[in-house]
Structure 1
Amino acid sequence: MPQRALNTPVCRDCDGFSTAAIDTGTRNTDGTRATLRVNCPTCKGTGHTAPAPALARAGR
């Protein structure tokens, strides 16, 4: 019997692509490009977000 995959919510700011490599335009001494790796500030580089907690009901 097939098992169900866990439904983990994907980050809405980065759509699961949590890290981007930005080219600086310069080269290292060995000839490779110098890049900066930047993580999504919302999910902190995981690509997933925690589900929002259920709101407490206000009233009586």
Structure 2
Amino acid sequence: MPQHTCPPICRDCDGFSTVAITTGTRNTDGTRATLSLDCRACKGTGRQLPAAQLVRAGR
């Protein structure tokens, strides 16, 4: 039986946490200028942490 030791894959990015977006311009050597962005939900880890549970305080 498999053991699940790591948190589940992020549902927003499906585990592909970093993307490269071309800006449309070219650098001086002829390559495309790109921006590297991380997923906002998992902050670039590719894994989603379980949501914190609410705790009732008081009576």
Query: 5+ residue gaps in structure 2?
Result: none
> How many residues get paired?
55
Matches within 5 A, 1:1-60: 6-54=5-53, 56=55
The alignment's C-alpha RMSD in Å is 2.0
Q: TM-score, normalised by structure 2?
A: 0.74
Q: TM-score, normalised by structure 1?
A: 0.73
**What percentage of residue pairs aligned between the two structures are identical?**
64
Q: Return structure 1 stretches of 4+ with deviation > 6 angstroms.
A: none
Q: Which one is further off, 3-12 or 18-27?
A: 3-12
2:22 counterpart SS class: strand
Query: 5+ residue gaps in structure 1?
Result: none
Please state how far the C-alpha of 1:51 moved relative to its aligned partner.
2.0
1:49 counterpart SS class: coil
